[in-house]
Structure 1
Amino acid sequence: MQVSHTPAAVSAAFDDPNLIAYAGLVPVMRLAERCGLPRLVTEKVKLTGVTNGAGAAADAKVTSIVAGMVGGADSIDDLDVLRHGAMPAMFGGIRAPSTLGTFLRAFTHGHALQLHAVHRRFLGALAAHTPLLPGADQMAFIDVDSTHKRVYGRTKQGAEYGRFKGIRTLHPLLATICTPQSRPVIAGVRMRRGKAADSRGAPKFVSEALATAAEAGCTGLRVLRADSQFYNAGVIAACRRAGAHFSITAGMNPSIKRAILAIPDQAWRQITYPTAVPDPETGELISDAEVAEIPAYTAFASRKKTERVTARLIVRRVRDLAKPAVVGEQGELFPAWRYHPFFTDNPAPTLQAEREHRHHAVIEQVIADSKNSALAHLPSAHFHANAAWLTLWAMAYNLLRATGALTSAFHAKATTATLRAHLIHVPARLARSARRITLHLPHNWRWQHAWTHLFDTVHAPPEPG
């Protein structure tokens, strides 16, 4: 491919007021309106007592930020992508980045909780209007994990030197929902200071995530999956109060080591993975392992009886290639194997429960997506502004996932980067006639049928309810 004209024969001018770069925002924000996002913000977010009018028109400001994030904005300045060409003719209420920054800085902890309420109800509306979580009435998985986001500003509130030496971070907590047929959506997020313990606030957060899953139509079997930092009595009690099951990685404490040593050799069953999976400790790819189950293991035995839990302990072991295999006494078994136990009351058969627990790693895809999009930066020095930014990213992420689910089977499973490339970053020219606007899009756009299907679906009259 090469330019078909000489440099002298080509010129450029930014002078057409009828062009827009992100025509895909038209059906996407129409979907947000049909699911009640502006109405929910008006009802729930009350920035009372703030100066400079920062609390006025919260619905327009929230939708401006969400639209910018859908388009790929990862900082407050990037939200200016909404103010080009004919965008003001296509959308009303677009706010300048300076106004949106002032709005975010007006948030307090209470206002962040109001935004969380909007997020939960917006997810429920998206699930009701689109095939966002197919099969949720049969089975759904709720995954919880935390991540560290590196920050560089010396004045950022809550940023601390935590797990990583010499690196200042904030420490968000995330919960996602998925089904065996769907990609994950975000059930909840919380911003925390850099040194916050991984499980800080986890029981309450898990309770809210399970309640959000129920609001999103997850009425069948619900299984909470988490890593070992969430292996505590409070998280499991929250699952049982909500009527959900749990599948949580267990650390190698003395009680679990004794239980594993007591497993007879004939109880181990060979499992072969169709595609190699990364070892959680070394990162090496493995394709073979052995699995065994202790059907009645009592966790938290040192606590009072009401807090003890008896359930299944399923253990996967792989050869420790860094150490030579030792044939001898039972006590020398551990140097030759690495063990990965998890504690669960999932009613599935052993190998299926092990496979479903391993799928918990799907939440890492969401975390990676966040750091490649709106969470590439936490844009403010104010802690609660960054907390609001995190929640608004969760809304934008869920809106994009609902857009893909409404478009085609391919786009329902596509990454958000692909959704932006195929459906959002489509240029268009606006033409006005008889008080109607026509979008003229590129000829031979490969995904024009998918885009047209999305556009027609969200602009069709609502079904009688």
Structure 2
Amino acid sequence: MQLSHTLAAVSASFDDPNLVSAAGLVPIMRLADEAGLTALAQDRLSVPTDKGANAGAKIATLVGGMTAGADSIDDMDLVRHGGMSTLFDRIYAPSTLGSFLRAFTFGHVRQLDAIASRFLVGLAAQAPALAPATSSNYVFVDVDDTIIEVHGHKKQGSGFGYSKVRGLNALLATVTTPESAPVVVAQRLRRGSCGSPRGAGRLIADAIATTRRLPGLQQQKILLRADSAYYGHPSISAAINAGADVSVTARMTSTVKHAIATIPDNRWQTIQYTDAIFDEDTQRWISSAEVAEVPFIAFSSQKKAHQVPGRLVVRRIPELNKKDVDQPGLFDLHRFHAVFTTADSQLLDTVAADKTHRQHAVIEQVNADVKASALAHLPSGKFTANAAWLVLAVMAFNLTRTAGAIAGTGLAKATTTTIRRAVVTVPARIARSARRLVLHLPESWRWEPQWTRLFDHTHSPQPDRPADPFSVR
């Protein structure tokens, strides 16, 4: 592509009050309003009135700005240009929004957590494809934490964690079905130096409670998946007490190693794994990886109330780094990966339990997604303001995911960046015709069908919806 020769003399002027760069916010913020975002924030946030007046509109401005691509307070100017004030009421300046966030206390952050949970339920009601009922045996709640890097010493709570970089620790829980992409059902910001399982029990209980309120998942069985950092009584018991089964990587303790050593050689089954080949003649996988299971009681050294019966599902592969010993033992010849699960063996047999647990890695994609969007920065020096920013970033992520689910055709499981590029940051010119606002969008826009589907979904006539003031051309 090169500049047209007919544009030898080009001039530019920022003087058109009817242009907008993110016309997709029209249907998306309508969707947010229908899901209750503004009303929930206005009713449930008790930030002092000197900083928290019109909390609903301020929260909507922050979420809208993040949806359009803002990853800092100053970036909220994204929603204050051209004809945005014609399309939206009460758009607040970045300085006002910064003062609003700095007024948050821990209690206000917890209020925002409750708003985020109810907002997700509202979004799922607007878009059943977001978290649909499934014929699968389980829906999956995944828990993991990630370090959000910060710079300087003035960020409250920042420290060096397992990643060896200065940052703050974000703990997330997502829900996934075989038919849908993950959405975040719970979140918590913690000190950068805190251990991964700190406070996980409460977050897990909140995540399962929110999952059970989603319209499509109210009758589904839930399986909590997590890595070895959460192999502890508080996390596992929180899930079980909430009515979920668990699938958690077990640490290689002496008890676990003893259980593995009791597995007979004839119990190991080959599985589809890296470089596996399926033999059509024998109808079996030719693979270096094998799985087996053995009954197991987790935390057997603790008091009886803390002991959890279940199964130990073990995967083994040959040890490639051979140890220089005369008589190699079992753990010299193989590498083992053990998973403790309480899942019903009739619903998840040994092979299925191992494969299902490996799919826990889907939460890493969510971590990368939010950190490439609104969580690219934690903008404040105050910890509670950053904690509120995390919750707002999650709300923007879920809102964008909902828009993608409604738009469909390649966007239902796309990343935030792809959905934003396709249906959010679409330029448009505002015109007026017959007392209606008309959005003129670019001709030959690649994602016109998806954008139109999203717009029609949010602006179609409904019995309890006011007359639509918009049309699109």
Q: Please classify the TM superposition score into its range, dividing by the shorter chain length.
A: over 0.9
Structure 1 stretches of 4+ moved >6 Å? none
Query: What does residue 236 of structure 1 align with?
Result: 236
Instruction: Give the letter aligned to residue 152 of structure 2.
Output: G
Matches of 2:104 and 2:442 in 1, distance apart? 41
Where structure 2 has 5 or more consecutive residues not aligned to the other structure, the ranges are 277-285, 466-473
**Other-structure match for 1:280:** none
Q: Aligned pair 1:129/2:126, yes or no?
A: yes
Asked if the contact 1:157–1:383 (Cα under 8 Å) also holds between the matched residues in 2, the reply is yes
Indicate the residue corresponding to 1:160 in structure 2. 159
Identity of aligned residues (%): 51
Other-structure match for 1:75: 72
**Structure 1 gap segments, 5+ residues each:** 277-285
| Partner of residue 432, structure 2 | 432
Quick one: which amino acid aligns to residue 250 of structure 1? Answer: A
Corresponding position: 1:334 with 2:331: yes
Question: Is 2:370 aligned against 1:373?
Answer: no
Take 2:202 and 2:116, find their aligned partners in 1: how far apart are those partners?
Answer: 17
> Secondary structure of the residue that 1:297 maps to in structure 2?
strand
Q: C-alpha offsets along residues 197-218 of structure 1, whole Å, 9 cap, x if unaligned? A: 1101111111111001001132
The yes-or-no answer on 1:300 pairing with 2:299 is: yes
Give the 3 Å change call, closer, same or farther, for CA 362–127 of structure 1 in structure 2: same
Could you tell me how far 1:320 is from its partner in structure 2?
2.3
Counterpart Cα distance in 2 of 1:288 and 1:205: 38
1:304 is displaced (CA, Å) by: 1.2
Is the CA contact 1:300–1:308 (under 8 Å) kept in the aligned structure 2? Answer: yes
Amino acid paired to 2:11: S
Q: 1:177-211: CA deviations, max 9, x gaps?
A: 11011110000110100111110111111111100
Change (3 A) 1:385 1:137: farther
Contact 2:24 2:423 in 1 (8 A): yes
Deviation by residue 1:395-415 (Cα, 9 ceiling, x = unmatched): 000001111111114211111
Partner of 1:404: 404
Contact (CA 8 Å) 2:149, 2:166: kept in 1 or not? yes
Aligned to 1:96: 93
SS where residue 339 of structure 2 aligns?
strand
Match of 1:314 in 2: 313
Paired residues of 1:132 and 1:402 also in contact (CA < 8 A): yes
Selected match of 1:203 from 201, 204, 210: 201
| SS state at 2:141 partner | strand
1:338 & 1:87 partners in 2: Cα distance? 58
Q: Give the match for residue 58 of structure 1.
A: 55
Q: Which amino acid aligns with 2:185?
A: A
Whether the aligned pair in 1 keeps the contact of 2:51 and 2:100 (CA below 8 Å) is yes
Question: Partners of 2:275 and 2:375 in 1: how far apart?
Answer: 31
Once the two structures are superposed, residues 404-456 of structure 1 have per-residue CA deviations (whole angstroms, 9 ceiling, x without a partner) of 11111421111111101110111000001232100000001111111111101
**Structure-2 residue corresponding to 1:245:** 245
Match of 2:469 in 1: none
Cα offset, 1:324, TM superposition: 5.8
The TM-score, its normalising length taken from structure 2, stands at 0.91
AA in 1 matched with 2:449: H
What does residue 116 of structure 1 align with? 113
**How far off is 1:235 after superposition?**
1.7
RMSD: 2.0
Number of equivalent positions = 449
For 2:7 and 2:336, the matched residues in 1 are separated by 64
Equivalent residue runs for 1:357-396 within 5 Å: 357-396=357-396
Residue identity opposite 2:45 in structure 1: V
Q: Specify the SS of the correspondent of 1:158.
A: coil
Alignment check: 8 A CA contact 1:42 1:58 kept: yes
Is the 8 Å Cα contact of residues 292 and 313 (structure 2) preserved in structure 1?
A: yes
Instruction: Say yes or no: does 1:323 pair with 2:333.
Output: no
Partner of residue 344, structure 1:
341
Task: Say if 2:197 and 2:235, in contact at 8 Å, map to a contact too.
Answer: no
Amino acid at match of 2:242: A
**Aligned mate of 1:85, from 61, 82, 86:** 82
Normalising by the residue count of structure 1, what TM-score does the alignment of the two structures yield?
Answer: 0.93
| 1: CA distance, partners of 2:19 / 2:287 | 52
Question: Structure 1 residues 107, 247: closer, same or farther in 2, change over 3 A?
Answer: same
Q: CA deviation at 1:369?
A: 0.7
**Deviations 1:103-133 (Å, cap 9, x if unpaired)?**
0000000000000010000011111110201
Contact 1:272 1:288 survives alignment (8 Å): no
Give the aligned residue type for 2:370: S
**What secondary structure does 2:445 align onto?**
coil
